[in-house]
């Protein structure tokens, strides 16, 4: 050690060079597989409703009221016969709205939107209620089986939607 250099404890500490922090990377949420599966099923159901709407619009356009009158006879109420094309047009509009609704909910499922979760819960509860009413009105063995299936599937989906990981995907946790 030379006499010109200060002792080691007297030396000023050299600061480490500045290293910027790593860039912020937001944590990616992982979409549950069941949500993806439900979204795909909803897209398929939307396509089915879309085809139903197109078929209903086609029927409304090509129905020949005179041919129906000829087949049913003159004693059948004409107001009902004349309303048949309008009926199919209204059914087509309802089916088109349902198709759009299914596509929108599927989008919300894929993107993890909270409104999609809420809308699904509401629609599933309504579906269960309709199944119960339908089963009561058409009380038969087939109606009972249909009612049980119409209740079981929405209940299974509801139970799944209320799982903590699924609720977290939709921001409902």
Q: What is the residue extent of each domain of the chain?
A: 32-112, 113-167
Query: Is the pLDDT assigned to residue 54 strictly greater than 70?
Result: yes
Q: What is the pLDDT of residue 50?
A: 97
CA distance 28 to 101: 27
Question: Above pLDDT 70, what percent of the chain?
Answer: 93
For the chain, the average pLDDT equals 88
Please tell me the pTM assigned to this model. Answer: 0.72
CB of 139 closer than 8 Å to CB of 86: no
State the DSSP code for 15. Answer: P
* Distance set, CA 57 to CA 45, 81, 94, 96 (Å): 18, 17, 11, 10
Q: What is the pLDDT of residue 91?
A: 94
CA distance 114 to 124: 15
CB of 49 closer than 8 Å to CB of 102: yes
CB of 15 closer than 8 Å to CB of 57: no
Question: pLDDT digit string (tens) for 83-114?
Answer: 989 999 999 999 999 999 999 999 999 999 99
Give the pLDDT mean for 34-51: 95
């Amino acid at each position: 050690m030379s006499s010109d250099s200060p002792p080691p404890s007297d030396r000023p500490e050299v600061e480490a060079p500045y290293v910027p922090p790593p860039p912020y990377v937001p944590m990616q949420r992982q979409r549950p597989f069941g949500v993806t599966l439900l979204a795909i099923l909803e897209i398929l159901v939307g396509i089915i409703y879309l085809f139903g709407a197109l078929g209903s619009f086609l029927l409304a356009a090509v129905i020949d009221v005179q041919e129906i009158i000829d087949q049913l006879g003159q004693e059948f109420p004409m107001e009902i016969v004349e309303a048949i094309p309008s009926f199919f047009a209204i059914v087509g509009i309802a089916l088109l709205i349902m198709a759009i609704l299914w596509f929108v909910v599927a989008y919300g499922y894929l993107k993890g939107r909270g409104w999609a979760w809420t809308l699904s819960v509401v629609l599933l509860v309504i579906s269960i209620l309709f199944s119960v009413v339908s089963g009561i009105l058409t009380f038969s063995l087939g109606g009972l089986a249909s009612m049980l299936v119409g209740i079981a599937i929405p209940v299974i989906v509801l139970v799944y939607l209320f799982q903590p990981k699924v609720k977290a995907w939709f921001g409902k946790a």
